[in-house]
Structure 1
Amino acid sequence: MKSVLLYVNDDSGLDARYQAALDLTRALEGHLHCLRANPYQPQMAFDGVTGMSVMYDISRYALEADTLLKAEIEKRLAGEDVPWDYHTANAEPARGLSRSSALTDLIVLSSCSGIKDNTEPLGILGDVVFNTNIPVIVQPDSLKKFDAAGPVVVAWNGSFEAGNALRAAVPLLKLASDVHIVVVEEDKDHDLPPLEASEYLSRHGIKSKIHELAADKSSVQAVLLSTVDALNASYMVMGAYGHSRAREFLFGGVTRNLFRDCPVPLLVAH
């Protein structure tokens, strides 16, 4: 896990994403790739009669904003101690990130916690997580760090998605002070019991503790969040979108709720 991809956009989560990406790159002794994906780059012909001049104006303003953003990020990175590069893509954010993920080990995106209208960050998260095989760090806007050396909670439900997330997280879990595998009982059998997850980690030299908790009248996410707080966890590992994305979006779900409410970073994989 050496290549960290940072989504660059002038939004409320940029500072938190930026610092988390730096912390991760340092901890992993890796390389930081900065990507600005913008669908309004001026690469089109225009005709004032047909109204294409409006699109040209939008493209021109977007290019000016991108130039300023690039200069700001490059100025900040010039004073950092990590290797980096900066690229742009003429594409929607999720598509641009997905296209750039083939030789990437980790993508850093924002949670849906920082703005009232969280449709856009939720959509980007959903598309990237669902359409790539790359683990994603979901960073809260309010937290401008990623502590790779602290305690970690692994949310385990025995699913295929949970297994993918655990496997993807191994390089980071090796740096953690403690690893806690947390199972919230949901009155259903697990395909993969938590003991198997613990044994898998042990083969990588990672010690872990298993916590089997009852939801009672609380929701699964409420139990997970209280456990994160009780264990003072630095981040949480979880599988994402165990149900279909449409069902999660329309009716809610653990994935969607934690994207919005989790106060610590999430490492997620589908």
Structure 2
Amino acid sequence: MSQRQLVMEHEGQPVKAQTPPDSGIKTILLHVLDDEFHDQRIETALTLARAASAHVSCLHVTPIEAYVAYENFGGVFVMQDVMRKLDERNADLELRVTKRFKREDVSWDYENVTGNVASILLSRASLSDILISSRQPVRRDFAGPTVGFLGDLLHRSRTPLLIPGSDGNAFDPTGLALIAWSGSVEGANAVRASVGLLKLASNVRVLQVPETKQGPKDFPATKLLEYLSRQGIHAELMVEPSPTGDVGHDVIAGMIVAEAKGAGAAYVVMGGYSHTRVGEYVFGGVTRTLLKDCPISLVIAH
């Protein structure tokens, strides 16, 4: 891990609450997917629900494209055998998920719908405090590229997106939280949307990452510390020395992951696509890099 400079710490050392704080997180939307990270996402939702005394809404969406086949001449017909197999698979998935939740001490419900995956998730997320999803799409042959799917959620939703780490470890909402701070409006939105989650953290650190492009709307990290302090969140600021040479998004992404691992962070809070979706200015590229793969859980918003 590279050297870093400790700049500021509010109120001495981090404060651990004697009683669980009211995080304000009351509705967790869990995107149910039958993939390799299925159990990890369920455990993430359960752990967060217990810590925040929240309700878990389990939502499984079957893409409408999965039921439809296209003829060579443009005709569309429904394949009865495909429908039967998909319905059987969905019923089996629902049975497994509901059995798991019935054994737990949290409030929950389960919904199985068919339609456009991103649009339905966005609709349900409108009245949710956090959305737990995955890097894996619903179906590789129907859902499209993972980064594109998550990018749609980020750009169109105002609900923070929680993506468990690709290392498979369980998410700990009471662990150390690392805020990757670039001073952008999107980063500020991500922090504001994640205040409830940050209140559950045992420690919060702000990592000021170097940028090659600064703008007049950028917020200094000291303002972020003041904002967090008013929310009862006592954070410390770390400034990472700017690397020499060209600072690309892979360098910044690697720096964030290295610092998060070194600090033992449970998750990273960051703004997504801080410039343009198609542009590759630093933090836009960082978003794409970390959406593709990140061993640490991400809490990200646009």
Give the Cα–Cα distance (whole angstroms) in 2 for the partners of residues 210 and 189 of structure 1: 19
Give the Cα–Cα distance (whole angstroms) in 2 for the partners of residues 105 and 173 of structure 1: 13
Superposed, which structure 2 residues align to 1:59-208 within 5 Å? 59-111=83-135, 120-189=145-214, 191-208=218-235
The number of residues matched between the two structures is 261
Give the Cα–Cα distance (whole angstroms) in 2 for the partners of residues 107 and 21 of structure 1: 9
Give a deviation string over 1:204-252, Cα, whole Å, max 9, x none. Answer: 111111111123146111211111111111100000011322335xxx7
SS in 2 for 1:214: coil
Give the Cα–Cα distance (whole angstroms) in 2 for the partners of residues 119 and 144 of structure 1: 26
2:272 pairs with 1:245: no
Give 1:92 deviation, angstroms: 2.5
- Give the TM-score taking structure 1 as reference length: 0.88
1:229–1:73 Cα change, 3 Å: same
Unaligned runs of 5+ in 2: 1-24, 69-74
Give the Cα–Cα distance (whole angstroms) in 2 for the partners of residues 77 and 43 of structure 1: 28
Q: Which residue of 1 is the match for residue 289 of structure 2?
A: 257
Q: Which residue of 2 is the match for residue 18 of structure 1?
A: 42
Give the Cα–Cα distance (whole angstroms) in 1 for the partners of residues 163 and 49 of structure 2: 15
Give 1:9 deviation, angstroms: 1.5
Among all aligned residue pairs of Structure 1 and Structure 2, give the percentage whose two residues are the same amino acid: 36
After superposing on structure 2, the runs of 4+ consecutive aligned residues of structure 1 that deviate more than 6 Å are 41-44
2:256 pairs with 1:212: no
Give the Cα–Cα distance (whole angstroms) in 1 for the partners of residues 300 and 83 of structure 2: 34
Amino acid at match of 2:147: L
Give the Cα–Cα distance (whole angstroms) in 1 for the partners of residues 267 and 90 of structure 2: 31
* 1:156 and 1:182 in contact (8 A); partners too: yes
Unaligned runs of 5+ in 1: 45-49
RMSD of aligned residue pairs (Cα, Å): 2.7
SS in 1 for 2:291: helix
Amino acid at match of 2:225: S
Which stretch has the larger CA shift, 162-171 or 143-152?
Answer: 143-152
Q: Which residue of 2 is the match for residue 227 of structure 1?
A: 259
Give 1:58 deviation, angstroms: 2.0
Q: Which has the higher contact order (CA 8 A, sep 6+)?
A: 2
Q: Which residue of 1 is the match for residue 72 of structure 2?
A: none
Give the Cα–Cα distance (whole angstroms) in 1 for the partners of residues 290 and 66 of structure 2: 37
